[in-house]
Amino acid sequence: MRLAVVQHRDSPPDLARNLARGLTSLQEAADRGAELALFPELFLTGYYLDEEMVRRAAGVPAALERMQAAVDQLGVSAVLGTPVFRRELLLNAVAVLRPGKPPDLYAKTHLFRGEKKWFTPGDRFWNGTVAGWPCGVAVCYELGFPEVSRCLALAGARLLLVPAAWGRPRADVWHIATAARALENGCFLAAAGQAGTNGTIEFLGESRVVGPYGDTLAQAGGEDALLVVDLDAAEVDRARGGDRGGHTYFVDRRPGLYGPIGTID
């Protein structure tokens, strides 16, 4: 599968402009033969935690319809972050758009710091098939919770999709966590980060694709970027295979010992 990871610098607090940039990037991904394009966290509105973001969220359904139309026309799936209202609740959501299928939504379950003031956390994870691959979605801060990625992998995910808006001061954590989540689950991980600034936060950028051995397959810097990477499903089989040269983490699991992990205070 050919994957495209989209990174934009200084995404503005402007739904129409971000939608236009998204459509352009989706077209570029299609032109380069990608079957799936991954965008950052809160991509459509920009990562701004304020009343204006809430007002922009009201226009998201129409923007998603436009993105879905482009997905259908180009035959390229898109996974992108956006605020979404579910009744009166505002979610830090990820839209999963696939050609010829109704959109799916995942709501971020582990909110980071100031996000808790604005969003309601989700209560379930998302697994599904995107561009023929079993995928799971985690968002930014959720990289720091190994349980999230492990649950997704145990549910069948062979590719973890991570929209993010990661701060530059935590760059070391970004590199370690993305590699660790891929390595320990023997799967590919693609992370699309915001770059530049929103006026108060300096974002890291450095969107990346990591292989099932924790190896970096592609990485952006701090500017606009479109990473295009070919993923080989056989690499996941080898990594999880144990006797086929893999690292045996899946083979040697002892689930009977892990029961207390969800109950420790």
pLDDT along the chain (265 residues), means of 10: 98 98 98 98 98 98 98 98 97 98 98 98 98 98 97 97 98 98 97 98 98 97 98 94 76 86 61
Is 108 a known active-site residue? yes
Q: What is d(CA 211, CA 226) in angstroms, rounded to the nearest whole number?
A: 18
Beta strands in 123-169 (DSSP E): 126-130, 133-137, 159-164
Q: What is d(CA 228, CA 140) in angstroms, rounded to the nearest whole number?
A: 20
Q: What is d(CA 12, CA 259) in angstroms, rounded to the nearest whole number?
A: 45
Q: Which of 35, 115, 135, 140 is catalytic?
A: 140
Query: Model's pTM, two decimal places?
Result: 0.97
Q: Which of 41, 115, 142, 235 is catalytic?
A: 41
pLDDT value at position 159? 98
Q: Provide the β-strand partners of residue 82.
A: 93
pLDDT value at position 246? 79
DSSP class of residue 31? H
Q: What is d(CA 77, CA 71) in angstroms, rounded to the nearest whole number?
A: 6
Is 41 a known active-site residue? yes
Q: Domains in the chain, please, with CATH?
A: 2-252 (3.60.110.10)
Is 140 a known active-site residue? yes
pLDDT value at position 242? 67
- Residue 209 makes CB contacts below 8 A (sequence gap 6+) with 3, 5, 188, 189, 190, 191, 216, 217, 218, 219, 227, 229
pLDDT value at position 244? 59
Structure-block tokens of residue 35: 């079957």
